[in-house]
Amino acid sequence: KSARVSVPDLVARKGQEPIVCLTAYTAPMARMLDAHVDLLLVGDSLGMVLYGLDSTIPVTLDMMVQHGAAVCRGSKQALVVVDMPFGSYQESPAQAFASAARLMKETGCQAVKLEGGRAMAPTVEFLVARGIPVMGHIGLMPQSVNTMGGYRARGRGDSEAASVMNDAIAIAEAGAFSIVVEGVMEQLAEAITNRVTVPTIGIGASASCDGQVLVSEDILGLFAEFKPRFVKRYAELGSEIEDAAARYAADVRARRFPGPDNIFGAVKRPA
Ligand code: KIV
Ligand code: NA
C-alpha cells in the first residue's frame, strides 16, 4: 500500500490493533521510521531534544514549519501530525486556524496537535469544521509547565482525575480525531480510553490506551539528559556516536585517516 494512513483509517483502529506512533523532526529520521509506525508526530519536544531549550515554550511556528516539511518529505506511508507551538493557537480560534492552515499548506502534514482541555474545545471544533483534523493532548501538558509548576503526573486525587476526564470528553466531543494522554495515572488513562470514542495515544499512561507514542531520541538513547520513567530504551545510539567520534579522532591524529581508499590519486609511498 502506497497511500498514507488517513485520519479516518486511524480513527477506525479504536478497539483494534494498537496504534504505533513515534516522533520525528528530520527527513532522515522520518525515512527510517516510516515503515514501522502508523503515525509520525513532529512534536514541539524538538525544542528540548534538538535545540537544547529547557522547555517547549520558546518553540516557534517557523521551527514547526521547517521540521514538519522535512518529515513529510522523508516519509510516504505514515500519517504526519505537526504540533502547534505555544502562542500559536491559545489566543482565539481564528489565530489557531491561521497557524494550523500555515502548517498544513507549508508542510503537507495531514493534521495538527494542540494541548488543552475544556478551554480549547471551541478551538478544536472551529478547526475541524473548517477542514483541519485535530489531535488533542491532555493530562500532563508541557506548554503549561508554568501554570502547573513543573512536570508531574496528573490525576492522583479524585478531583484532578475528574478534571482530566472532563478535558478528554470535551476535546473528543469537539471533534478531535484522537487524543494524546500524557503522564496520567494508569487507571484514569484506561477510564478515558473506555469513555471516549476516538483513539487515545498514551505516553506515560497505560498499555490499555489505543496506541502509544514516545520521543524517538529517548528510545534510541540519543537524548540522555534524563530518562523519565515512561521511556524504554531500545538502543544506545548516543554512546555509539561518542565511540565513533573518538575512533575518527584517533585515526586523524595518528594519520591513519584518510587511507588509500579515501583519497584521489594516492601517491605511492615506500612501505
Ligand atoms: O512534543 C512531543 O513530542 C509530544 C509527544 C511526546 C506526545 O507532544
Ligand atoms: Na508536544
The predicted complex's ipTM stands at: 0.99
Q: Does domain 7-236 bear CATH number 3.20.20.60?
A: yes
Mutate which of 83, 89, 112 for ligand 1? The one with the most ligand atoms within 8 Å of its CB, which is 83
If residue 127 lies in a helix (H) or strand (E), which one and from where to where? helix 121-129
Q: Which ligand is nearest to the CA of 215?
A: 1
What pLDDT, on the 0 to 100 scale, is given for residue 126? Answer: 99
Q: Taking 50 as the threshold, does the pLDDT of residue 57 lie above it?
A: yes
From ligand 1's centre to the CA of 203, what distance in Å? 8
Chain mean pLDDT for the chain: 96
Nearest atom within ligand 1 for CA of residue 182: 7
Mean pLDDT confidence for 179-208: 98
**17 given a catalytic annotation:** no
Nearest CA to ligand 1 atom 5: 43
pLDDT tens sequence across 92-121: 999 999 999 999 999 999 999 999 999 999
pLDDT tens sequence across 223-239: 987 778 899 999 999 99
Give the binding-site residues of ligand 1, using a 6 Å CB cut-off.
Answer: 23, 41, 43-45, 83, 137, 180, 182, 203, 213, 215
Mean pLDDT confidence for 10-38: 97
Residue 6 DSSP class: P
Q: Taking 80 as the threshold, does the pLDDT of residue 269 lie above it?
A: no
Three-state SS for 150?
Answer: coil
Establish whether the linkage from the previous residue to 258 is cis, with ω within 30° of 0: yes
Predicted TM-score (pTM) of the model is: 0.96
Taken in order 41, 45, 47, 51, is the CA torsion positive or negative? negative
